[in-house]
Amino acid sequence: MSLKTTFRNGSILTPKGFVTGHSLTIEGERIVSLDASETASAGEVIDLDGGYLLPGFIDTQVNGGGGVLFNDDTSSEAIAAIGAAHRHYGTTGFLPTLISDELEVIDAAMRATERAIEDGVPGVLGIHIEGPFINEARKGTHDPAKFRTLTDQSLKLLSSLKHGKTLVTLAPETATSDDIRALVSAGVILAGGHTDASYGRMARAFDEGVTGITHLFNAMSPFTHRAPGVVGAALENQSVYCGLIIDGRHVDPVALKIAVRCRPHDRFMIVTDAMPTVGSKTKTFMLQDKLIRVENGVCVGPDGTLAGSDLDMATAVKNAVEMVGLTLEEAAVMASTAPARFLGLDAHYGTIAPGHNANLVWLDHELNLKASWQGGIGIEGHKAAA
């Protein structure tokens, strides 16, 4: 018989907003009830101490964590180590993310993701393949020697994942409309990123089936008054999902504030673009042939180019409230509900409701993470080293 846990004495975020004076009960991996009283006491009782109970965070862009870089170790064990590092920051669902690499490495990463899901590695929802079908003009820290255009071979590979979701970041100007439609028809989720596309090409890509934007503002043609670019196309569009790295360095807070005023909040997703340094005391690593170090909270290469982040989801959510001025409900939707919908997993993930997975995050009054639950299993929040 599955153990029950009841949460009370806090603000619980439901699809209709925060409720107080309620109790939430989970049994095993599922939420079983949300009662309009605090008298329920089934199983273990968690006193939220007036804090906040949110749906577990879902991060669609996780390059590494716990000292592990997915590109360096495309194994189920590496995925498990990355997930273990991030779950202490409230991330209960994630896509291990592969930076531009050879097709053989992409193949190995996809097979590792399948094995991780088969083995029941907690939190793995699929894979994010970020490149190599991108534009050198907006390469960021990606290695242009790895870049290529789509072929029948690569289209077949990208469509081959047997378990979980496949998200591919590509530059639409490097692909044909037929390529994009073929991937979408095969069930691949597409996001525009590392792209120098014009406003017109990006807008057409949305019509062709691209439903996301990878780290809005970063590594893409900017918005200007005569050439709106990818940023303009994304901000004008009211339905695609735009990832945001909210660390104050990747995007200026003023730009973030303007962006969230342009579109529905539930069409933004908080992402970390996290590197191996998250959850690790070691703050340097090698990315292919480049030494990357953490500097003032961000990862940078030898020439100062941003190379992912040292950001975790709990910090990003707090930043969204304190830096961008969002409400906690808006930030939580961007960290949980929106990515679940983007991935087509919202029937079981991303909201607190009976029948949904028991993936939960407990924040205190100051929005610091106290604990989380992944599939009903409690996880202590990260404690900084003394």
Active site residues: 273
CA distances (Å), origin 375, targets 101, 124, 372: 33, 12, 10
Please state at what angle helix 253-262 crosses helix 229-236, rounded to 10 degrees: 40
Q: Where are the alpha helices (DSSP H) in 228-343?
A: 229-236, 253-262, 313-322, 328-332, 338-342
| Residues near 28 by beta carbon (within 8 Å), at least 6 away in sequence | 2, 3, 358, 376
Long-range contacts, 294-297 (Cβ 8 Å, 24+): 296/249, 297/247, 297/248, 297/249
* β-strand pairing of 4-8 with 44-47: parallel
Total residue count of the chain as it appears in this document? 386
Position 76: which residue type? S
* β-strand pairing of 212-213 with 189-192: parallel
Residue with tokens 């992402």: 271
Query: What's the rounded Cα separation, in Å, for the pair 44 and 296?
Result: 41
Position 122: which residue type? P
Burial class (CB in 10 A: 0-12, 13-18, 19+), 364: middle
Please state at what angle helix 177-185 crosses helix 199-208, rounded to 10 degrees: 30
**Omega prior to 172 cis, within 30 of 0:** no
SS3 assignment, position 295: strand
